[in-house]
Amino acid sequence: MDLPTLWFWVITALWTGYFFLEGFDFGVGMLTRLLARDNTERRVLVNTIGPVWDGNEVWVIVAIGATFAAFPPWYATMLSAEYLPVLLILLALIGRGVAFEYRGKVDSDRWRHGWDLVILLGSWIPPLGWGLVITGVATGLPIGKDGVLEGGLGALFTWPAVLGALALAGFSLVHGSVFVALKTDGEIRRRARALALRVGPLCLLPMAVLMVLVQVRQGGLVTIVIAAVGLLAGAGALVRLAAGREGQAFALLGVLIASVVVSLFGSDFPTIIASTVDPSYSLTVANAASSPYTLGVITWVAAFGTPAVLVYQGWTYWVFRRRISAAHIPPVHVP
């Protein structure tokens, strides 16, 4: 495998890790109004992701940074064509991070309700936006000869891209519900599990339709098999959750999102952004790659840096592995 191909799959893996890890903490944010009945239960939900949500965001920073280093034309075309969705995502992520830090600074229901609304919006907008962006890039955009989007921002809202937005948001909601059932105890755990079972089939349906649509349009034998594995994993997750096996359901949802990302990125490989204006304007792994020297340098950096990041993040999850409930939440204390 040459270095451009290696880095294409590294970037695919980074997006997979991001959607798996950030997917459940987006889902927890979505549940702050759906699942929690009072401030104590909202604090339980926020505490389930408190030690890990900012670490999860590192994956998207590394994914975009790796794209810039390994495939500059891919980075430039994706972020310039999709600048408005990406800008909204960034604003939502910034607001969400600030809300986590500030909602407990003042003992006021009005204050907390305001920041809870920011958390809610900051948890819905990114998965909708990333689903639109990544699916649009993977299924093709009206890119001209100079790499500029043709047709205005409305050209981004293709049927596959809109389906991708709904798919990632629906997945995040289910993933977050299963995570809450896995990390909490008592009544809130029972409610989270019941919610995931009730809305799971409907929320995962856009993802199933997207996988079938992409494979019918541009898939090959390998990606069809991967997509089929993902569909089975999604169904299996709901079956295992119904049996009370929240950990197995959580892992199977991981298989599902990995299958979706790999089948999306791999279905048109080696093309990385297909131009719907003229195929000759498309970006491929070969014509978008950096120089061999640059790819060699970032490969060595990744070889030493990635294990350290993985160990640190794994240690964080291990330290905060225990279930929590409303009984573990202390009274409100304003500094």
Cis peptide before 126 (omega within 30 of 0): no
Position 230 scores a pLDDT of 92
What is the band of 5 on the pLDDT scale with cuts at 50, 70, 90? very high
Beta bridge partners of 284: 271
- Average pLDDT score over the chain: 90
Residue 326 has pLDDT above 80, yes or no: no
| pLDDT, mean of residues 269-286 | 87
User: Would the pLDDT of 333 be above 70?
Assistant: no
Q: How confident is the model at residue 72 (pLDDT cuts 50, 70, 90)?
A: very high
Highest-confidence segment of 12-26, 105-119, 135-149, 271-285: 12-26
Tell me what the mean pLDDT of segment 220-239 comes to. Answer: 92
Q: In the structure, what pLDDT confidence band is assigned to residue 277 with cuts at 50, 70 and 90?
A: confident
- Write out pLDDT tens, residues 95-120: 999 999 888 888 888 888 999 999 99
Residues 203-230, mean pLDDT to the nearest whole number: 90
- Domain limits, the chain: 3-322
Query: What is the mean predicted confidence (pLDDT) over 28-39?
Result: 88
Q: Is the pLDDT of residue 296 over 70?
A: yes
Tokens 């003042």, residue located:
106
Is the pLDDT at 274 greater than 70? The verdict is yes
For 75, residues 6+ apart whose C-beta sits below 8 A from its C-beta are 64, 67, 68
With CA atoms as reference, report the closest residue to 264 among 217, 330, 201, 199: 217
Looking at per-residue confidence, does 109 or 295 come out higher?
Answer: 295
CA distances from 45 to 34, 36, 123, 268, 317 (A): 11, 8, 13, 39, 16
pLDDT in tens, 117-170: 999 999 999 999 999 999 988 888 888 887 788 877 888 888 899 999 999 999
Q: Which residues, 6 or more positions from 28, have their beta carbon under 8 angstroms from its beta carbon?
A: 45, 46, 48, 49, 123, 176, 179, 180
Report the C-alpha gap between 99 and 252 in whole angstroms: 31
Give the residue among 138, 117, 109, 99 at the shortest CA–CA distance from 15.
138
Beta-bridged to residue 275, according to DSSP, are 141
Is the model's pLDDT at 77 over the cut of 90?
no
Question: Does residue 330 or residue 276 have the better pLDDT?
Answer: 276
177-191: pLDDT as tens digits: 999 999 998 889 999
Q: What mean pLDDT do residues 26-43 have?
A: 89
pLDDT, residue 332, reads: 67
